[in-house]
């Protein structure tokens, strides 16, 4: 068991790192204070495990530690190349669509009025998971169409991402983005768009 402790710790680090990346947007939005320590601790653990694995191979000839190095290499590949945000958005698009459509309908019927003149709407209890910070942004809600944004990541200075419901497609989304340049827009399914903004 002792010979495999680095492998076990490497696997645990892989799982924790995956979960951190998967829930990274929520982490930054809701637990901002804890985000930076986590992103310091995890790379530190990676370096320590890598050094210890190499040292055990070199000094103790414990070649089973090649497996822990392989797990750490897999971790690097995942962090660098796996599209965590997009994969999560696609998964949640299907999982949460009925609830999100219910919120859209409530906004349309003025059951969820904006809490300010900017268009921010607090989600009801039990629906907070539908948007990274528990709010949606109403870009437009009138006879000419409806554009409601569910936050994926709400950047502080730039780089916000929304999953937007739009009855008027991409054209209506662009027409309602005053002062917030869109850097990327992609249709995921009917009325649903993945939108990145310089906001």
What's the pLDDT tens digit per position in 105-156?
999 998 998 888 888 899 999 998 999 888 999 998 888 899 999 999 887 6
Q: Are the CB atoms for 153 and 137 separated by under 8 Å?
A: no
Higher pLDDT, 157 or 44: 44
Q: Confidence band (pLDDT; 50, 70, 90) for 61?
A: confident
Instruction: Please give the share of the chain, as a percent, with pLDDT higher than 70.
Output: 96
Give the chain's mean pLDDT: 89
Cα dihedral sign for 46, 50, 56, 62?
positive
The candidate with the shortest Cα–Cα distance to 102, out of 111, 94, 114, is 111
Please report how many Cα atoms fall inside a 13 Å half-sphere around the Cα of residue 80, on the Cβ side. 6
The candidate with the shortest Cα–Cα distance to 5, out of 74, 68, 83, 84, is 68
Q: Is the pLDDT of residue 179 over 70?
A: no
- How far apart (Å, rounded) are the C-alpha atoms in residues 1 and 22? 30
- How far apart (Å, rounded) are the C-alpha atoms in residues 137 and 146? 11
- pLDDT average, residue stretch 51-56: 93
- How far apart (Å, rounded) are the C-alpha atoms in residues 195 and 180? 11
> Could you give the 3-state DSSP secondary structure of residue 151?
strand
Q: Checking DSSP bridges between strand 145-153 and strand 135-142, what pairing results, if any?
A: antiparallel
Q: Are the CB atoms for 77 and 21 separated by under 8 Å?
A: no
- pLDDT average, residue stretch 31-57: 89
Q: Confidence band (pLDDT; 50, 70, 90) for 96?
A: very high
Give me the pLDDT at residue 4, please.
83
Give me the pLDDT at residue 77, please.
97
pTM over 0.85: no
Alpha helices by DSSP H, listed for the chain, are 5-22, 24-30, 32-55, 65-81, 84-108, 169-175
Q: Is the pLDDT of residue 6 over 80?
A: yes
């Amino acid at each position: 068991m002792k010979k495999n402790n680095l492998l076990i710790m490497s696997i645990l680090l892989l799982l924790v790192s995956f979960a951190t990346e998967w829930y990274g947007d929520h982490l930054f939005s809701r637990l901002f204070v804890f985000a930076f320590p986590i992103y310091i601790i995890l790379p530190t653990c990676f370096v320590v495990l890598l050094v210890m694995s190499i040292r055990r191979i070199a000094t103790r000839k414990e070649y089973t530690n090649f497996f822990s190095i392989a797990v750490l290499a897999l971790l690097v590949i995942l962090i660098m190349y796996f599209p965590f945000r997009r994969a999560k958005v696609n998964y949640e698009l299907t999982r949460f669509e009925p609830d999100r459509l219910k919120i859209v309908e409530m906004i349309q019927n003025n059951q969820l009025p904006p809490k300010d003149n900017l268009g921010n709407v607090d989600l009801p209890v039990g629906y907070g998971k539908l948007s990274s910070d528990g709010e949606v942004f109403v870009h437009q809600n009138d006879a000419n169409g409806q554009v409601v944004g569910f936050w994926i990541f709400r950047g502080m200075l730039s780089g916000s991402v929304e999953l937007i419901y739009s009855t008027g497609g991409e054209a209506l989304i662009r027409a309602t983005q005053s002062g917030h340049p869109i850097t990327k827009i992609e249709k995921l399914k009917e009325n649903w768009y993945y939108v990145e903004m310089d906001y």
